[in-house]
Amino acid sequence: MKCKKCGETAALDLRRHNAAFCSPHFIEFFRKQVREAIRHYRMFEPDDTVMVAVSGGKDSLALWDVLIEEGYRTCGVYLDLGIFDYSVESRAKCEAFAAARGQTLVIERVAEAVGAPIPVVQKATRRPTCSACGLSKRYLINRAALTHGYTVAATGHNLDDEAATLFGSVMHWQTDALSRQAPMLPSTHPKLIRRVKPLYRLSERETAAYAFLRGIDYIVEECPFARGATSLAHKDVLNRMEEASPGAKHNFLFGFLDKARAAFEAAESVTLLECASCGQVTTGEICAFCKLADQVKRHTAP
């Protein structure tokens, strides 16, 4: 296999693009895809400041690396979920990454904000772990960006993640989730930070290759709660379809974004208020995060 650009031996074969690249040209291809994502959805401008939510995994660290290399003003935010060794190790990866590049890493401890680490939150509320965790992440990332004066919050969701989420939402026809699924969610309230996913054009295999070729030291293990998550079953189904027909995931996601999403967006209209307890944006009187923290407090009180 030869590189499409220079004819040297290729390091990676991208069947869905019908192309193969050597290492330097793959890195160039990867960054071009990120630039195209930023341009297409007007995710941010050079004068924006971007807070990258990093988990210590390949995707978020690859994203941070690209944005630094592209010259954006960034910082990282790491959410310490308190999930045993997984959190200890993933935090160390983020700290080492930031230190090696002279970047700021903001650390938010979920146990401090919610009143208990994620495994205890799950026991106290009997909510599915990932639902309490996802809610806390969204809230704390937004709050951290506001507090530290960043204009955009970026996450490392890739094509596989986005296609799997879309598949799950379609399976249950969750129209509110479909209306919110987008590579860029604009700020619709002064206290709601714009959210972007600049890796949505790149597959998991591609972000892993990029992280490897760039020498990024990331945590390979998944969060222990990810095992058995339905999203993994959805990824399996999509991987089998991709195997049979390269480009299937891409067509599924991009078809939705280009042709169907607008129909769901039009149906969604909510009035945003400020939470009476914490002041963050909510649709009710008290935000879901404050309700969660209150529930944890009641269940863990001596």
Residue numbers of the site for ligand Q46 (CB under 6 A)? 81, 118, 129-130, 133-134, 223, 225-226
Q: Does 130 bind Zn ion (CB under 5 A)?
A: no
Select 84 or 298, whichever has its Cβ closest to ligand Q46.
Answer: 84
Q: Does 143 bind Zn ion (CB under 5 A)?
A: no
Q: Residue 225 or residue 254: which is nearer to ligand Q46 going by CB?
A: 225
Residue 279 site contact among Zn ion, ligand Q46, none (CB < 5 to 8 Å, cut-off depends on kind)? none
Tell me the closest approach of the beta carbon of residue 160 to ligand Q46, in angstroms.
Answer: 13
Should residue 138 be labelled a site residue for Zn ion when binding is judged by CB under 5 A? no
- CA dist 155 and 18 (Å) reads 28
Q: Which is nearer to ligand Q46, 86 or 264 (CB)?
A: 86
Beta strands in 7-136 (DSSP E): 12-14, 19-21, 49-54, 73-80, 105-109
- In the shown chain, the binding pattern of residues 3 to 42 toward Zn ion, with x for contact by CB under 5 A and - for none, equals x-xx-x-------------x--x-----------------
Question: Residue 263: left if φ>0, alpha if ψ -120 to 50, beta else—which one?
Answer: alpha
* Cβ atoms within 10 Å of 261's Cβ, excluding its own: 17
Closest approach, Cβ 215 to Zn ion, in A, equals 19
Torsion-angle region of residue 122: left (phi > 0), alpha (psi -120 to 50) or beta?
alpha
Angstrom distance (rounded) from CA 60 to CA 194: 17
**Structure tokens, 271:** 């009035």
Residue 63 contacts which entry, ligand Q46, Zn ion, none (Cβ below 5-8 A, type-dependent): none
Smaller CB separation from ligand Q46, 131 or 147: 131
For residue 223, the minimal CB distance to ligand Q46 (Å) is 3
Q: How far is the CB of 226 from ligand Q46 (least distance, A)?
A: 4
Residues 33, 8: Cα–Cα separation, whole Å = 22
CA distances from 20 to 160, 236, 254 (A): 20, 24, 22
Of the pair 177, 278, the CB lying nearest Zn ion is at 278
Burial of 63 (0-12, 13-18, 19+ CB in 10 A): buried
The binder of 225, among Zn ion, ligand Q46, none, by C-beta within 5 to 8 A per type, is ligand Q46
Strands (E), the chain: 12-14, 19-21, 49-54, 73-80, 105-109, 152-154, 184-185, 194-196, 273-274, 281-282
Which of the choices ligand Q46, Zn ion, none does residue 290 contact, using the CB cut-off of 5 to 8 A by kind?
Zn ion
287 lines the binding site for Zn ion (CB under 5 A): yes
Name the residues that contact Zn ion, by CB under 5 A. 3, 5-6, 8, 22, 25, 275, 277-278, 287, 290
